[in-house]
Structure 1
Amino acid sequence: MKRFFLIAILFLFGCLGDAPRDNPLENQNGLTLEGSVHTFYAPHLPLEMVPVQLKKLNLLTYSDAQGRFEFTHLKPDSYTVIVGGQNFSKDSVRMFLKRNTSLTFKVDRLPQFLEIRITTHHQARWFPVEDAYFVQVYIRATDPDGIGDLSLAYYNVPELGVRDTLLPGADAGEFYAWQTPGEFNVQHVNQLIGKAFEMVVEDDAGFGKRSGPVFLTRIIEQTVQLISPVGLHTISGDTIRFQWQSVYLTFPFHYKLEIFQINNGVISIVKTMDGLPSDQTKLELINSLPPGDYLWRIYLVDEFGNTSSSKEGAFQIP
C-alpha cells in the first residue's frame, strides 16, 4: 500500500512537470524587434548609419553596413518605430508588439548643400540717374542619389512673407535668383539687413533639405570713379591703358575690371580681369579687340562676393 502511494505521488509530480507553458523563451528573454533600411529608389540597396528610434523607450540605434537594426528584451506593448532624420527622409510604424517582428523601411537620401550665398550688388549708372541695387541668391547642392535627382530649389524670407523659386544655373546642382528690392516687397536693399533667408532644395521624390537662417553680409555703397578711357575715346595704339581713382574702404576688397562690346545695340561681355589688388589704379592691356564700340566698368568686390560697380566708361577701337 505504501509502495502504491509513493508511485502515485511520483506520477502526479511527473504530470505537473510536463504541464505546458506559455512561450517560455519570450518570457525569459523578452521580444526582439529587428529590421532593415534600404534606399528609396530601386534596386533598394542597404543603407548604413540611418537613425532608428524606438519612441516608447526612447532608444536610439543606427543601421549597420547591411542596413540592419535590432532592439531586444522588449515587453509586449505598443511601440512607434521612427526611421530616418538627419540626412535621410523619415518613415515610421506604430504597432503592438506581441511576437518577434521584422520590419523593412525605404528612405530617401536627402540633397545636401555645398554652398549658399546671398550677395548684394550696387551699380552706378548714367541713366537712369538713380543707382541700382540687386540681390543674388545662389545655391550649389548635390544628392547622394545622383545630381540629376535634384529638381527644385527656392528661398523663403518668412518675416516678409516672400518665397521664390531659383533658376537652374549653368552647372548641374546650381540654382540662383537675381532680384530687385521690389521683388522682396521692400523699397531699398537696406531693408533686407537682418532678415533671415531660408533655403530649400528638393529631389524628384519630393523630399527636401532645409537650411538654417542665412543673412546679408554687407551693402557696398561707395563706387569707383573712372579716369580713362571715357567719353568714347578712340584707342589707336597697341595698348589700352585703363585708369581709375583709388578707393579706401574699412574692410578687405579687390577690384574687378570688365569690358563689354556694343554690337547692334546688344551689349555682351568680352573680357574679365578679377582679383586686382586694392592698391592698384592702372591696368595696361594688349589691344587684341576687334574694331567696335566698347564699355568698361570697375567693381569693388569684398571677401563675401558683394560688389559695387562704377558707371560705364566708353571707348572705340577703329
Structure 2
Amino acid sequence: MAKAQIGTSILALTLIMSACLEDGERGNPLDPLSSNFVDEGQVSGRVTQRSLAGVSGSLVQLTPGGLTSVTDGSGSFSISDVPSGSYTVTVEAAGYVNAVDTISVAPGVPVAANFELNGLPILESWTVNTAHISRWWPLEDLFQVEFVVQASDIDGVFDVDKVWLDIPDYGFADTLLTTQTTGTFARTLNDLDLPTTTIHALLGRPMLLSVRDHLSDIVTTPDLRLVRVIDETPEAVEEAFQNGPQDCLQGQSGSGVVPLIEWKPLFLPYPFTHRVDIIRVDSGLETLVERIDNIPFDETSVVATPLPDGEYYWTVAVVDEFMNRSRSKQVGFCIIP
C-alpha cells in the first residue's frame, strides 16, 4: 500500500513539473524555442596589405543580403546582425586586387574574416616617341621608336616584375629594360627590330604598355599611337667654328672656351623647339656635358657654357609637342689651351 502511494506521488510531481516547464518563459536568445531567439551572428576582421599594414577605406560586402562595412584607419571592420547562413565576402579597395572568401554564420557565434590584399602595379607615366637621327656613318639615317615607362607598385617598386609593349596589329611584343633610375624602364627599337619595313608604318597603329607584379597581376595602358615621324633634319653651320669642325679652338688660360652653336633655319608646319647637346669624348667614352632645351623655333644659335680643354661634338635637334625629334649630324671640335 505504501509503495503504491509513493509511486502515485512521484507521477503527480512529474506531471506538475512538466506542466511548469511547458508554461514557463524561455528567455535565452540562443534557444530556438525562446521568444527572444535571435537567428543572427557577427562578422568582423581586418584588411591588410602584404606588408600587414591596414588598408583603410576598404569596402567589405556580404552576398547574399548586401550587408556592408568600410574599414577604419587600422583596416578593421565589423558587421552585426548578420542572419545565419552561408555568405561570400568580397573586399574592394582602390589600387588593390579584390579579395573573395566564403563564411558560415551561426547565431551568437562571432566569425573572423581577415584579408590580405595584393597592391596593383602602377604605370605612373610613359612616353612613346620617334627619333630621326642623321649621321656621318653609316650613311643611311637612323629611325627609332623610344619607349620610357615609370612604374611602381603599392607594395613597393621592387614588386614590379616586368614591363613590356605590345603592337597588336603585328602580333609583336618586347620587354622594356631596367635603367639606372629605380622604377624607370626603357626600350629603343630601330627599323630592323620591328615587324614593319619602316617606322612610318606604325603611325596610327595601336600600341599597349603593360606592367606585371610578382603575383602576376597586370595593369595596361589605353591604346597609344604614334602621331609623327619628323623627316626633315636640322643642318649645322659648321663655319661657326672658323676653320672647320675638326679644327681646335684656342682658349684662354684657366677660362675655357665659350663656343657659339649655329644652325640653318628650318620651317615646319607644326610647333617645335630646338635642343642642343654637347658631348665630350675621352678615349672613345662619350659624356653629355650640356643640354640646352626649349630653344624657340625661330632661333638659329645658342651660346654654350665655357668648356675646358678636350675633344667634343655637338648636335642640334628639332622637338615637337609630342617629344618626337629629328637630329642633325655631329659637328666635332676640340679645345686647346
TM-score (norm 2): 0.77
Distance 1:109 1:24, change over 3 A: farther
Return the letter of the residue paired with 2:247.
T
Distance 2:219 2:228 in 1: 26
Alpha-carbon contact 1:119-1:306 (below 8 Å) kept = yes
Q: How many angstroms does 1:258 deviate by?
A: 1.3
Question: For each residue in 1:124-178, what CA deviation from the matched residue of structure 2 results, as whole angstroms up to 9, or x when unmatched?
Answer: 2233333211111111133343444444322333333222222122221111111
Q: 1:157 aligns with which of 157, 167, 180?
A: 167
Q: Secondary structure at the match of 2:113?
A: strand
Q: Which amino acid aligns with 1:276?
A: I
1:277 is matched with 296
Larger Rg: 2
Q: Which residue of 2 aligns with 1:3?
A: none
Are the counterparts in 1 of residues 270 and 320 from structure 2 also a CA contact under 8 Å?
Answer: yes
Aligned 8 A contact 1:228 1:241 in 2: no
Which residue does the alignment assign to 1:288?
A: 307
Specify the SS of the correspondent of 1:195: coil
Match for residue 55 of structure 2?
47
Range that drifts further, 16-25 or 139-148: 16-25
With 204-213 and 166-175 compared, the bigger mean Cα shift is at: 204-213
Q: Distance in 2 between matches of 1:120 and 1:57?
A: 54
Closer/same/farther in 2, CA of residues 79 and 210 from structure 1, 3 Å limit: farther
Q: Among residues 1, 6, 16, which one is paired with 2:23 in the alignment?
A: 16
CA distance in 2: counterparts of 1:148 and 1:215, whole angstroms? 29
CA distance in 2: counterparts of 1:288 and 1:107, whole angstroms: 55
Deviations for 1:211-263, whole angstroms, at most 9, x for unmatched residues? 33333343222211112248534243444222111122233221111123444
Are 1:195 and 2:205 an aligned pair? yes
1-side partners of 2:331 and 2:268: how far apart?
22
Q: Which residue of 2 aligns with 1:306?
A: 324
Rounded Cα–Cα distance in structure 2 between residues aligned with 1:174 and 1:136: 13
The 5-angstrom pairing of residues 137-176 of structure 1 reads: 137-176=147-186
Q: Relative to structure 1, is the Cα distance of residues 27 and 115 closer, same or farther in structure 2, using a 3 angstrom cutoff?
A: farther
Aligned twin of 2:138: 128
1:254 matched to 2:262? The reply is no
Any unmatched runs of 5+ in structure 2? 1-14, 251-256
In structure 1, the gaps of 5 or more residues are: 1-7
- Cα distance, 1:73 vs structure 2: 4.1
Match of 2:5 in 1: none
Moved more, 55-64 or 104-113: 55-64
Structure 1 SS opposite 2:22: helix
Q: What residue number does 2:77 align with?
A: 69
1:160·1:184 contact (CA, 8 Å) conserved in 2?
no
Identity %: 23
- 1:252-282, Cα deviation, whole Å (9 max, x unpaired): 2211111234444554433322222211101
Taking the aligned partners of 1:193 and 1:61, their CA distance within structure 2 comes to: 49
1:185-224 to structure 2, matched below 5 A, reads: 185-224=195-234
Structure 2 contact 68–79 (Cα < 8 Å) conserved: no
Query: SS of 2:97's equivalent?
Result: strand
Output the amino acid matched with 2:22.
C
- CA RMSD in angstroms comes to 3.2
Task: Letter of the 1:15 partner, please give it.
Answer: E
Q: Point out the more displaced range, 187-196 or 257-266.
A: 257-266
Equivalents in 1 of 2:150, 2:170: separation in Å? 24
* 3-state DSSP of counterpart to 2:200: helix
141-150 vs 270-279, greater mean Cα deviation: 141-150
Find the aligned partners of 2:167 and 2:67 in 1 and give their Cα distance: 36
Partner amino acid for 1:94? T
Size of the alignment, in residue pairs? 308
